[in-house]
Structure 1
Amino acid sequence: MSLSELPSPVWPVLVLLVTQAGDAVMMLRPPKFIVDCLEGVRFPRDWWWALTTAKLASVAGLLAGLWVPGVAMTTTAAIVVYFLAAAVAHLRARALNSAFWINCLGMLLLSLAVLVVSFVRL
């Protein structure tokens, strides 16, 4: 097993990029389900800007990584870690509602799938 420094196929990375971009845009004026999610895990409102910044940085990393070796792979791995941390926050807060099962774990599975499909070579 080895790792590819450029994504192949590219389309899963593009799906993750669009998803992260949409998530970042929603953070500018969070809809109720995002507010409920962040409040459910007791994430301080004063720090919500940091999540927006992280999501925008992931979009930039995925985009740059289409041409710069290793960047998209590293960014995708960072997104996996981000959603692992989010899952732990949900578990610790016992916030196991639909936001956890659909949004958090869904994004964790999507980012893991992108990492495996686009970067792992058997």
Structure 2
Amino acid sequence: MDSADPTWPLFVLAAIQLGDAALCVKPVGFVRDCFDDVGFPRAYWWVFTPIKVVAAIGLVIGMWVPEIGLAACLGLVVYFVLAIGAHVRARDFGRNLFVNAIGMLLLSAGATYVSFVS
């Protein structure tokens, strides 16, 4: 597999993931509300920061090692599909579902398509 082309979607998605990771270190209000709304146990909130940092690292490495970038993109697609499932299960049909989970699923799938498929 040749290098990812173009790489800008990976860079954008990595930047978003790093920003999101920073918001999850000590969850800010809307992140805290999102976790509470889906009933995610507070004891496990800490897992989101390393997951998002590792995803960002994988996306950046993926600019030169496309198999890792593709794996990171696909991992984010799975992550956001699961997030959508959590929102639907909790009947949280507001902003958290439509803007956050579905929006990020579309960005992740779009980055996968533009950088690795097209």
- Please state which band the TM-score falls in when normalised by the shorter chain: over 0.9
Q: Quick check: 1:28–1:52 contact (8 Å CA) kept in 2?
A: yes
Q: Deviations over 1:6-42 (max 9, x none)?
A: 3110101111000000000110121211111110110
**1:52 match: secondary structure:** helix
Alpha-carbon separation, structure 2, partners of 1:5 and 1:115: 14
Tell me the amino acid that sits aligned with residue 14 of structure 1. Answer: F
Q: Percent identity?
A: 41
Work out whether residues 73 and 108 of structure 2, in 8 Å CA contact, stay in contact via their aligned partners in 1: yes
TM-score (norm 1): 0.92
Structure 1 residue 53: deviation in Å? 1.2
RMSD: 1.1
Q: 2:92 matched to 1:95?
A: yes
* Structure with the higher fraction of residues in helix conformation: 2
Count matched residues.
118
In the alignment, structure 1 residue 30 sits paired with structure 2 residue 23: no
Structure-2-length-normalised TM-score? 0.95
Q: CA deviation at 1:5?
A: 5.1
Measured after TM superposition, the shift of residue 60 of structure 1 is 1.2
- More contact order relative to length (CA 8 Å, sep ≥ 6): 1
Which residue does the alignment assign to 2:13? 16
Q: How does 1:49-64 map to 2 (within 5 A)?
A: 49-64=46-61
